[in-house]
């Protein structure tokens, strides 16, 4: 075994995976160049190649496949948003997740166990009723449950009866769930690669060439690549990347931290979150407790974790479930969220012809992976923005047609 590890470890031509071959030097030109080999970029490449017959596609990433925010999220999938436009979009995302393992011929470990968000005040409970009515109107599974309903769904919860953080009720979303983030990315990558898409890791885009109002090429550390169309989908670096093409986006970037504990026997069978405590928890398939919260309150391009956030998340988790107090932490990490003023993404056309935007995902990019990939592929293939994406156009900020989803996150911001 040791000799075999040495043999393959020293080979420079050994493929990353049997499904994703090591690509040669980039070609001088491609029909489509996608900047960002995360979930969204890889999903778009898959849908372009499988459903639109566009195979001359290069996916570029300055790091490694799915090594950015795709590897740093907490795997939550849901559609219980606030605006009708947001609900319709994420509802399609949940539907695609339900069929994803079959679509990719790869087990993405999708687990639809529901999400329960706690209300610690009457004001929060009233907002939950509004969200439930809107969600039911849009055809998603969602309802407000009382204290007995919360106890039935989460019997281990500290209800804090009579306390300052008494749980008065909850927002139950049975459609919610989780999937394995790396499985999603590698599944899309493998399918795209089988159809001729090239995935170039360690290929950093240093410039985007524009002439006559149209995108011409991208310049990388491995040479210039001409492109018929370019899509930007690189998570926390979207603002900087768009600026290379002369497009300034209304985006500000903040770190988003999470942490995970040692594994324990399964006991938490739903996703749970508290807006007042800015904390949410989910138990992984391996038994680890994944704990997350809101973004850090300052702009920064950083993936370093901090002690104050660790203490904050631990305090919230222990308040909800006091028996976790002696559980040991395994690791803590951070991603970079690209937030828009209305907490909704920017998708579709840019001011530069042939340059497409898949940006501004903030804290919910993973749950949108399949629907964003599918619909952005449709944009690129047809040259038209589908109706479901039109509300998320960049120009909405000029028209003051904002889609306020600020309160839709499980842990608030």
pLDDT class for 4, splitting at 50, 70, 90? very low
Give me 93's structure tokens: 């995302």
Three-state DSSP at 326 gives: coil
Asked if pLDDT for residue 16 goes beyond 70, the answer is no
Structure tokens at 230: 């370019």
Dihedral angle at the C-alpha atoms of 218, 220, 226, 231, nearest 10 degrees? -40
Give the span between the Cα atoms of 292 and 315, in whole angstroms: 12
Alpha helices in 271-362 (DSSP H): 307-320
Q: Which two tokens stand for residue 160?
A: 């804090």
Quote the CA–CA distance of 118 and 125 in Å, as a whole number: 9
Q: What is the pLDDT of residue 408?
A: 84
17 band by pLDDT with thresholds 50, 70 and 90: very low
Residue with tokens 């991208």: 218
Beta-carbon contacts of residue 411 (< 8 Å; ≥ 6 apart): 273, 274, 275, 277, 278, 279, 280, 292, 293, 294
Q: How far apart, in Å, are the Cα atoms of 220 and each of 61, 227, 359?
A: 10, 13, 21
What is residue 411's predicted lDDT score, i.e. its pLDDT?
Answer: 62
DSSP one-letter string for 38-64: SHHHHHHHHHHHHHS----EEEE-SS-
- For residue 369, CA distances in Å to 56, 197, 310 come to 22, 18, 28
Report whether 69 contacts 218 (CB < 8 A). no
Quick one: which of 203, 160, 151 has its CA closest to 23?
Answer: 203
Cα 356 to chain centroid distance, Å, stands at 18
Place of tokens 């028996």: 323
**Residue holding tokens 């570029």?**
60
Tokens 């999220």 sit on residue: 73
* Residue closest to 240 by CA, chosen among 252, 225, 256: 252
Distance CA(217)–CA(4), nearest Å, equals 42
- Of the chain, the percentage scoring pLDDT greater than 70 comes to 94
409 confidence band (pLDDT: 50, 70, 90): confident
Whole-prediction pTM: 0.93
Residue 11 reports pLDDT greater than 60: no
Four-CA torsion 238, 244, 250, 254, nearest 10 degrees: 40
Q: What is the DSSP letter of 327?
A: P
- Give the residue-averaged pLDDT of 84-94: 98
For 176-210, write each residue's pLDDT tens digit: 999 999 999 999 999 999 999 999 999 999 999 99
Per-residue pLDDT tens over the stretch 275-316:
899 999 999 999 999 999 988 989 999 999 999 999 999 999
Closest CA to 144 of 177, 116, 163: 116
Rounded CA gap, 176 and 115, in Å? 5
How many whole angstroms separate alpha carbon 153 and alpha carbon 110? 20
Token pair 């090594």: residue: 67
What tokens appear for 181 in the block?
């983030």
Mean pLDDT, the chain, whole residue set? 93
């Amino acid at each position: 075994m040791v000799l075999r590890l040495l043999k393959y470890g020293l080979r420079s031509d050994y493929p990353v995976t049997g499904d994703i071959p090591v690509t040669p030097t980039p070609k001088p030109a491609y029909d489509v160049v996608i900047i960002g080999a995360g979930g969204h970029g890889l999903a778009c490449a898959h849908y372009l190649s499988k459903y639109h017959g566009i195979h001359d596609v290069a996916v570029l990433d300055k790091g490694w496949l799915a090594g950015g925010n795709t590897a740093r999220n907490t795997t939550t999938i849901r559609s219980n948003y606030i605006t009708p436009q947001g609900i319709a979009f994420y509802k399609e995302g949940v539907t695609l997740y339900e069929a994803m393992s079959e679509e990719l011929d790869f087990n993405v470990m999708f687990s639809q166990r529901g999400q329960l968000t706690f209300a610690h005040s009457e004001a929060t409970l009233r907002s939950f009723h509004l969200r439930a009515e809107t969600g039911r109107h849009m055809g998603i599974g969602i309802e407000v449950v009382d204290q007995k309903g919360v106890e039935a769904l989460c019997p281990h919860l500290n209800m804090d009866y009579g306390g300052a953080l008494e749980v008065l009720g909850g927002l139950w979303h049975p459609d919610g769930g989780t999937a394995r983030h790396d499985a999603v990315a590698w599944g899309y990558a493998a399918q795209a690669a089988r159809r001729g898409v090239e995935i170039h890791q360690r290929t950093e885009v240093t410039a985007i060439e524009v002439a006559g109002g149209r995108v011409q090429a991208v310049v990388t550390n491995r040479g210039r690549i001409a492109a018929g169309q370019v899509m930007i989908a690189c998570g926390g670096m979207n603002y900087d990347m768009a600026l290379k093409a002369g497009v300034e986006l209304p985006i500000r970037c903040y770190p988003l931290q999470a942490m995970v504990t040692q594994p324990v026997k399964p006991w938490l069978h739903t996703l749970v979150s508290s807006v007042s405590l800015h904390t949410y928890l989910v138990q992984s398939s391996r038994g680890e407790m994944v704990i997350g919260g809101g973004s850090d309150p300052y702009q920064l391009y950083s993936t370093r974790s901090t002690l104050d956030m660790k203490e904050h998340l631990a305090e919230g988790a222990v308040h909800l479930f006091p028996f976790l107090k002696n559980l040991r932490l395994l690791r803590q990490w951070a991603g970079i969220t690209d937030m828009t003023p209305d907490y909704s993404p920017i998708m579709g056309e840019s001011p530069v012809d042939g340059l497409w935007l898949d940006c501004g995902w903030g804290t919910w990019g993973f749950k949108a992976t399949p629907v964003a990939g599918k619909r952005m592929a449709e944009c690129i293939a047809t040259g038209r923005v589908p109706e479901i994406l039109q509300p998320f156009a960049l120009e909405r900020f000029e028209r003051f047609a904002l889609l306020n989803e600020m309160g839709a996150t499980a842990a608030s911001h």
